[in-house]
Each structure stands twice: as C-alpha cells, then as structure tokens.
A = this chain, B = another copy of it.
Amino acid sequence: MSSCEFESLEKCLETHLPEAELSEVKRILFGKETKKLDLPAAAVSAASERDFELQGFGFEASPEQLRPARRTRVGLIQNQIVLPTDAPILDQITAMHSRVGEMVEVAAMCGVNIVCFQETWTMPFAFCTREKEPWTEFAESAEEGNTTRFCQELAKKYNMVIISPILERDARHSTLWNTAVVISNTGNVLGKTRKNHIPRIGDFNESTYYMEGDSGHTVFQTQFGNIAVNICYGRHHPLNWFMFSMNGAEIIFNPSATVGALSEPMWSIEARNAAIANHCFTCAINRVGTETFKSEFTSGDGKKAHHDFGHFYGSSYVSAPDGSRSPGLSRTRDGLLVVEMDLNLNRQISDKWSFKMTGRYPEYAEELTEAVKHDFKPKVVKE
C-alpha cells in the first residue's frame, strides 16, 4: 500500500523547482531555513542498515549576555507496526520494543536528549475496529508495566528523557486511558499525562475505549527543558496547547495517529500555529503505514466494510516559535527526526512578539465563563 503513496512534499519541491524559486517557496512555506545537523557517520549508516530515514535539523537563537544557550536535542520517532495485527499480542509488543529500541540507539548516537514515540506506540491503532478484544490486552500500567520498564532501561542507558505514549490500564480504578508516560533520564517515572480531547469522528470514536483525560495540563521539568504532551486530537484545540504553555511548557509534543483522507491538510497547520501562538516549540509525530485487521469494519460513511482505514502519513516535524519549521519526515517510511533547538529562542520571540502581554487573558477568562452558561446570549447585532 505504502509503495504507491506520494513520498514527501519537501523532496518533490527540491526535485522540480529551480534553486532561486525553491528558496522563496521554502521561505514562504517553512520560514527561516533550519540548518542541517551534521550527524555522526555511524548513526547515518546504522539508520541505513536498519532501514529507516534519519534527518537532522537545528533551530538557533541569538546569543545573550546573561544566559548561556540552552541547546536541547529532541528525537521524534515514527514507525510502522512490525508484526501483523493478528500475531500474538506479546510478540507484537516485543517486536515493537525491539524496533523502537534500535531506533533509540541511533537517537543516542545523535546526542538526543528527549525522545518521543508515536501515540499508543506498542500496538496497532485498532480503535477503528470497535472490538474490545483483543485490543484492550495491550493496555499496561503506566507506572509498572513492561513497556515502562523497557523505557526506564533505555532512559538510564542513554541518559535520555523518554515520552512513551501507551494504552494505560489503571487497575486501581478499573479504567483505560490514552496516556503518555514521561520518564526522566535518571530512569524514574516523572509522571504521566492523559489525552485531554477524545475524537468522535469517522473511524475514531475512541471513547469506546477511554474517556477524556483527568490530568489537566501538567508540565514536566526535566534537565533538558520543560516539556508537555498534547496527545493526538488535542492538537485541534488551541486552548489545549495554550494551557500547556501557560503552565510553562517550552516544548510540547504531539504524538498522533492520523490518516491522509481525514486530516492531512490540517497536519502542517495546527502544531505550527500552536508554536507561533504560544512562543514555544512543538513536535508533531504521526505513525506511518497501513494497518490491516482480520475482522472487517464499517466507518459510518455509507461505504462497504473494509479491513484497514487508510494510510498513516508520517510527516513528523518540529515547529519553532518564530514561525519556522523543520522539513517533515517521509509519508511512507519509518524515521527518526533529530532536532536541536536553543530554548532561549522561546523567550526571545516572546519578548519580540509579546502575545502573552497583548493577549488580554483576564477578559477572555470572563468572556469564556459567560459563554459556557446555558443562558449565554451571543453578542449579535441585527439590522
């Protein structure tokens, strides 16, 4: 399926546009050019051997007199599932651990400080089937599950913060959640954050499996920057990004699972708008490939039952607060995107553009409080 998919917007432009025009097109589409990172040859060859794309880019900030640069390297991993969806569950999980583990090893060679995997990374995105079995068996404890333990080992081994989005089983409360576990580079579980907004669209009524998150807008202070995780559908909600930013997030990760026909033209817009509007970095990660299920299912669109629900188009990218963005990973292949960012850029851009100072938030707090009331009267002028 993937082989007939269009590979990448960026590559297409680079192949066909004359140089002078290419640079204008890139400036208009992507903003100030991100410099290419010089990645170690060993990493480049390991990625090639392991058959995944490896790209590296850097966002720079101005030097300051009173603060040293605060350079952080993030790694975004997008990948296909490894085994068929009807393979034994433990085999599927183990195969994903192994695949992502070998990609994290390359991230470590590239000096990555914080790595984020795609949404519910240990499993196929099976929520389209609406079957509870066997998919809920993929759920694990955020604090003590095998996947968390696996990530803790990686974190310690590579001195890396790991964001591990999984299907969480909270046995104490008999609930399932769509959760990102944040593991410190010391190997400790720093905490978790649950998906705040749950889609009810097309194949995705995920509230069949889990409800809206109850963890608010937690920010995690790490040695490499203050981070937050806005899971998937939360990227459509500007207030979600905004509240993570108000709580001090310098980098907001958006691990996702979304397919072409549904969302692709929005993909390059939403996380980037959030970086601009909130003076922070955002990292959008989408899985890649087509996942086929044994049982057929319908999609509430009048069409025939089918066994897959489309192509996850990858295209993971990073946006900076100055409106620029990195190129995206491909639409078709596993990939690791390494991005170095100087976090000083956030405050520099905030001091330049001042959206937080010009935001009039106290007035919006009042207006929004009024607007959610049952007897809210919209302010409409009629002739």
A-side residues, CB < 8 A to B, are: 6, 9, 12-13, 16-18, 21, 24-25, 27-32, 182, 184, 186, 188, 190-191, 196-202, 212, 216-222, 226, 233, 236-239, 242-243, 246-248, 263-266, 268-270, 272-273, 276-277, 323-324, 352-355, 357-362, 364-365, 367-369, 371-372, 378-383
Contact = CB atoms under 8 A, between A and B. Distances in A.
A273 B267 CA distance: 10
A221 B359 contact: no
A164 B183 CA distance: 54
B236 A353 contact: yes
B379 A29 contact: no
Contacts of A18: 16
Copies of this chain present: 2
Contact of A216 (B323, B365, B379): B379
A161 to B, nearest CB: 10
B272 A269 contact: yes
20 contacts: A6-B21, A12-B17, A16-B21, A17-B17, A31-B266, A182-B381, A190-B383, A199-B358, A201-B353, A233-B358, A236-B276, A237-B277, A238-B277, A246-B368, A247-B378, A248-B378, A265-B323, A269-B273, A270-B277, A369-B369
A355 B266 CA distance: 14
Contacts of A184: 383
Contacts of A265: 27-32, 323-324
Contact of A28 (B186, B226, B264, B324): B264
Contact of A219 (B27, B28, B361, B379): B379
A282 B362 CA distance: 25
In order of increasing CB-CB distance, the 9 nearest A-B pairs are: A31-B265, A238-B238, A273-B273, A6-B24, A265-B323, A365-B368, A247-B378, A266-B323, A365-B369
A350 B222 CA distance: 38
A213 to B, nearest CB: 10
A359 B237 contact: yes
B381 A191 contact: yes
A137 B158 CA distance: 65
B355 A362 contact: no
A379 B188 contact: no
